[in-house]
Copies of this chain bind each other. A is one copy, B any other.
Amino acid sequence: MKRTLLSVFTLGFILVLGSPATAQTVDSLPSWNEGKAKQSIIEFVATVTEKGSPDFVPPAERIAVFDNDGTLWAERPMYFQLLFALDRVRVLAPQHPEWKDQEPFASVLRGDVKGAMAEGMTSVAEIIMGTHAGMTTAEFEAVVNDWIATARHPSTKRPYTEMVYQPMLELLDYLRANGFKTFIVSGGGIEFMRPWAEKVYGVPPEQVIGSSIKVRFEMRDGEPVLVRLPELDFYDDKEGKPVAIHQQIGRRPIAAFGNSDGDLQMLQWTTAGQGPRYALYVHHTDAEREWAYDRKASMGRLDNGLDEAEAKGWTVVDMKQDWKVIFPKEKK
């Protein structure tokens, strides 16, 4: 018995002794090509986690915030939540006979998505409210879970949860392994993301921040329910992102990750704090493996953000150059 114990403990001791050396040689970001972007991440993490360093940041303050659309998963041909809403219009149409004469629903039902979007954000808001409200929160969650499990991206035919960026999944894991608490701060709907964000990104519901519609507490047959109302509660984009971060996290993040001008204020707010700060833009430069767009895009435009990143020395990821793979399960 004693001999066995000794062996077990000796083995344990060797493993423990071995781990710091091992950690340095294991690549936590294998889908990132060697280069400035990858190096800047590793250096920042080393800086804030080195005990005794003047730039050491206690784990409780290691808050990292990530945009979702275009930063953690793709956003072409349009925001995936909008594709979800368009699918919902078709599914719900039999319960809404009035929709066949009512825009933007009528155009959606005729298959004319471009026509449906004629009024821009007004059209989008009507489609969202018409498909996301008028049910309990539990009912909506079931609808999202069903869609995310069965729907396929129109061009790649993959499930949407496989349209996430493998290098960003590694980055989320790497930050958490270094004591960071990772949050999503998205213009998308909180309740559209929460049902699957924990499984796909490792981000629990309470760390998912986004846009929301109002809900109302009601008693139905003695049971409390929350009913979703067709009324905007909060639009989590641009100036809204620092506001939401403040109201819901209550600490200024030390690292922020985005891909568009909608994330600019979040990156400004993050980097304006004291001590070491990190900001990164994902730049969509890979028309072959993903999509290429920036200054002139109607969704996910990155224009002022590119200029400010240049001026302030923020990291800009060139997807084509910096990422070995884009999506999970690709060959490296």
Contact = CB atoms under 8 A, between A and B. Distances in A.
Interface of A: 5-6, 9-10, 12-13, 60, 63, 137, 181, 190-191, 194, 198, 204-208, 212, 215-217, 223-224, 226, 233, 239-240, 242-243, 246-251, 265, 268-269, 272
Max chain B CB contacts within 10 Å: which of A5, A204, A208? Answer: A204
A251 to B, nearest CB: 5
Given A10-B5, A243-B226, A265-B224, A250 B217 contact: no
Given A217-B265, A239-B216, A250 B9 contact: no
A243 B265 contact: no
A117 B257 CA distance: 47
A186 to B, nearest CB: 13
10 contacts: A60-B204, A190-B247, A206-B250, A208-B250, A215-B247, A216-B239, A217-B242, A217-B265, A224-B269, A226-B243
B268 A243 contact: no
A250 B198 CA distance: 12
| Secondary structure of the A contact surface, majority rule | helix
A246 B6 contact: no
Max chain B CB contacts within 10 Å: which of A9, A10, A181? Answer: A9
A208 B249 CA distance: 9
